[in-house]
Structure 1
Amino acid sequence: MGESHDHASVRDSYDTVAEEYARRLHEELAGKPLDRALLAALLEQSEPGAAVADLGCGPGHVAAWLAANGAKSVGIDLSAGMIAAGRRRFPEVEFREGDLLALPAEDGEFGTAVALYSIIHLAPEELRAAFEETRRALRPSGLLLLAFHVGEETRHLDEWWGYDVDVDFRFHDPARVAALLEETGFAVEMRMERTAYAHEADTRRAYVLARRT
């Protein structure tokens, strides 16, 4: 599958801000108690010894939290810059460069997967293919936890922390996401929403937990 212009611009933009992003978000989970609780619940239900994938891992702070809490974590990201930043900071995590539409993973390699704010860089028409690919990489009964911004808008950035970028942030409808998961071989077990924490961008956040059937 060839890389689209949108994916190339996302990759290049994150390459540009990788070090600044890693510095700013290194302790991000410390200020997100609900996210930590959901990740802990996910690990409690994960198959013992099976690898946990962090899809769209950025510089790896979530994958590192998973590893610190007993998981064999694998971080996958489109941006080589993000992967390099993660490898420097978190040697306990295995990092791989790859696209959500073509994961660098064997069939059924992962027992569990998380994708926190990574589908926000996919167009609505790409979600089905991304969920099919995630299902391929998960073991039967494997869990997937998604987080994303709620809505139908697209926010574009051409400047980020003083750097020139070209990246879209796409909001998604939780009902449509849940329906697509069901259509692609998942059973949705939980949906919830929250408002933003004070230190976050002012958007409504959705979480969906689904199990591979």
Structure 2
Amino acid sequence: MTDTSATTTPEFLTATRTFYDAVAEDYAERFRDGLAAMPLERAVLTAYAELVGAGGRVADLGCGPGWVTGFLASLGLEMSGLDLSESMLAIARRENPGIRFEQGSMLELGFPDGALAGVVSFYSSIHTPVDELPSLFSELHRVLAPGGLLFLGFQVGDEPRRYDRPWGHDVALDFERRRPERMTGLLTAAGFTPLSCTVREPETGRGETTPQALLMARKDG
């Protein structure tokens, strides 16, 4: 007899974890320059850190190799990182030995209600299906203190881009693209007040094919 009470991991989480476990070292090598080649992103993240305030407790969700985590820590925030992929976390821990990194899903966070001054999702919500975004934003809202700040990075568009067999690995994953106005509407419905949205054109030298959006919002109350 099958035990239907057991919680099963959603397929999109399993697919995301499998993909990044496979490509982690190649990904880190290909994008080794990380934020160093992204001046606009650094500027907006710096503004975000200033708005949160020195010493603010912030979680980088879907942190990957930990580049954003480390950058924000260098700006004076109390950072931690979370990711589905243990292979990505191994890189993050190796490159940021003073920061705590844990495995987990940003849909089910281990933080108490109102525990954080900020949450960052830098191109990690792009693997969450659109019908799961309200649940995701509700969870991010829950862990933020009143007035806490959310930072989202995502690719702009209407259709996903599928990456199949990157660097020869036998994995594939869809990268969802979103419209800023749609994301703003979902955040407002979840109890956030949008503060800013910066959209830049794609940089073809980095393999980008669509504009990139950087959105900040504040938890109401």
TM category, shorter: over 0.9
Q: Count residues in correspondence.
A: 213
* Map of 1:87 onto structure 2: 93
* Map of 1:144 onto structure 2: 150
Aligned partner of 2:109 among 85, 103, 108: 103
The residue identity in structure 1 corresponding to 2:187 is L
Residue 207 (str. 1) matches residue 187 (str. 2): no
1:120, CA displacement in angstroms?
0.7
Q: Which 5+ residue runs of structure 2 have no aligned equivalent?
A: 1-6
Residue 157 (str. 1) matches residue 163 (str. 2): yes
SS in 1 for 2:42: helix
* Map of 1:126 onto structure 2: 132
The residue identity in structure 1 corresponding to 2:96 is F
Aligned partner of 1:75 among 57, 67, 81: 81
* Map of 1:176 onto structure 2: 182
The residue identity in structure 1 corresponding to 2:127 is H
* Map of 1:55 onto structure 2: 61
* Map of 1:185 onto structure 2: 191
Native 8 Å contact 2:148 2:219 kept in 1: yes
Aligned partner of 1:27 among 15, 33, 38: 33
Partner Cα distance (1:26, 1:115) in 2: 19
SS in 1 for 2:92: helix
1:164, CA displacement in angstroms?
1.5
SS in 1 for 2:187: helix
Native 8 Å contact 1:96 1:104 kept in 2: no
RMSD: 1.3
Residue 10 (str. 1) matches residue 16 (str. 2): yes
Aligned partner of 2:120 among 114, 120, 127: 114
1:23, CA displacement in angstroms?
2.4
Partner Cα distance (2:53, 2:148) in 1: 8
Native 8 Å contact 2:82 2:103 kept in 1: yes
Q: Which has the larger radius of gyration?
A: 2
1:153, CA displacement in angstroms?
0.5
Partner Cα distance (2:189, 2:55) in 1: 29
Please give the per-residue CA displacement for 1:22-70, whole angstroms capped at 9, x wherever unaligned: 2232321011111000111011111442211111100101101111221
Cα separation, partners in 2 of 1:104 and 1:25, compared to 1, 3 Å: farther
Native 8 Å contact 2:52 2:148 kept in 1: yes
Normalised to the residue count of structure 2, the TM-score between the two structures is 0.91
- The percentage of counterpart residues that share the same residue type is 40
The residue identity in structure 2 corresponding to 1:85 is I
Native 8 Å contact 2:166 2:172 kept in 1: no
